[in-house]
Structure 1
Amino acid sequence: MSRIDHINNPDAPEPNSVVPSTVAFVTDDEGRVLLIQRSDNGDWALPGGGHDLGERIADTAVRETREETGIDIEVTGIIGLYTDPGHLIEYGDGEVRQQFSIAFRGRPIGGQFATSAESVRVAWIAPEELDGLPINPSMRMRIAHGLQQLAEPYIG
């Protein structure tokens, strides 16, 4: 299914849903960030996705990371809450979702790289290599906040 991120786009369609979701900011011992290249738009992103009924929100980050990367993680903290109504995600099925995402900090505890229907590539990316990758501005902000190790979670 296709995906278009609209960020402060006055021509974006009106939202018709909001789904709590998570992303996981995970680094290895060398300080590289775990990223996926998305299958729906080709952008690089932190692994993550929608919250399922019956699970704790931190478990969403663990599950989505395992599903999209093959890597098992442990959640160690919260980086921020991202709820900008100017960021809309338009899907090919007609859903237009207002952003509602919690970015968790995590550490790898096992697993091996594996792609999924949502990820065509999985990689550890050094911070200095991030500028050369296609990453949407909202995701780039989450990554920057993770690298900055803010004293308090971002709320915005």
Structure 2
Amino acid sequence: MGRIDYLHDPDAPPANSVVPSVVAFIQNEAGQVLMIQRSDNGRWALPGGGHDAGESISDTVVREVWEETGIKAEVVELTGIYTDPGHVMKYDDGEVRQQFSMCFRARPVGGELRTSNETTQVRWIAPADLPQMDIHPTMRLRIEHAMDRTRTAPYIG
């Protein structure tokens, strides 16, 4: 299924759904960031996805990271909540979803890198290489907030 992101675009279709979702900022011992290339839009992103009924939000983080990357993760802390109504995602099936994403810092505790039906590539990326990658501006914001260890409270916006 394809996806088009709209960010403060006056021509964006109106949202018809809101789905709580998560992304995980994970660094290995070398300081590299776990990144996926999404199969729905080709962009690089932190691993993550939608929250399912019957699971805790930390369970969602662990499940999504495992499903998309093959890495077992442990949640450390919340780094931000992102609910900008000006960011909507249009899917091929007609869903137009308003952003509602929580970003968590997590640590790898096992597993091996692998792709999934949602990822075309999974890599550990040096932070210095992130600026050259095709990453949506809202995902860059999550990464910046998660990398900033001087923050005393999560970003909420």
TM-score, normalization by structure 1: 0.99
Amino acid at match of 1:154: Y
Q: Does 1:131 align with 2:138?
A: no
Amino acid at match of 1:21: S
Structure 2 regions of 5+ residues with no counterpart? none
**Paired residue for 1:53?**
53
**Paired residue for 2:152?**
151
Structure 1 regions of 5+ residues with no counterpart? none
For residues 123 and 146 of structure 1, the distance between their equivalents in structure 2, rounded to whole angstroms, comes to 18
State the 1:68 CA deviation.
0.2
Q: Does 1:33 align with 2:18?
A: no
State the 1:148 CA deviation.
1.0
Amino acid at match of 2:121: R
- Aligned residues with identical type, % of pairs: 60
**Paired residue for 1:88?**
88
For residue 58 of structure 1, give the secondary structure of its aligned residue in structure 2. helix
**Paired residue for 1:71?**
71
State the 1:7 CA deviation.
0.5
RMSD: 0.5
**CA deviation vs aligned residue, 1:10-51 (integer Å, no higher than 9, x gap):** 100000000000000000111111000000111000000000
For this pair of structures, how many residues does the alignment match?
Answer: 156
For residue 114 of structure 1, give the secondary structure of its aligned residue in structure 2. coil
**CA deviation vs aligned residue, 1:43-64 (integer Å, no higher than 9, x gap):** 0000000000100011101100
Q: Does 1:121 align with 2:116?
A: no
Point out 4+ residue stretches in structure 1 off by more than 3 angstroms. Answer: none
For residues 31 and 144 of structure 1, the distance between their equivalents in structure 2, rounded to whole angstroms, comes to 14
Amino acid at match of 2:64: E
TM-score, normalization by structure 2: 0.98
For residue 147 of structure 2, give the secondary structure of its aligned residue in structure 1. helix
Amino acid at match of 1:23: V
Amino acid at match of 1:63: R
For residues 141 and 32 of structure 1, the distance between their equivalents in structure 2, rounded to whole angstroms, comes to 17
State the 1:114 CA deviation.
1.0
For residues 133 and 43 of structure 1, the distance between their equivalents in structure 2, rounded to whole angstroms, comes to 8
**CA deviation vs aligned residue, 1:92-134 (integer Å, no higher than 9, x gap):** 1100000001101100000001100110000011110001100
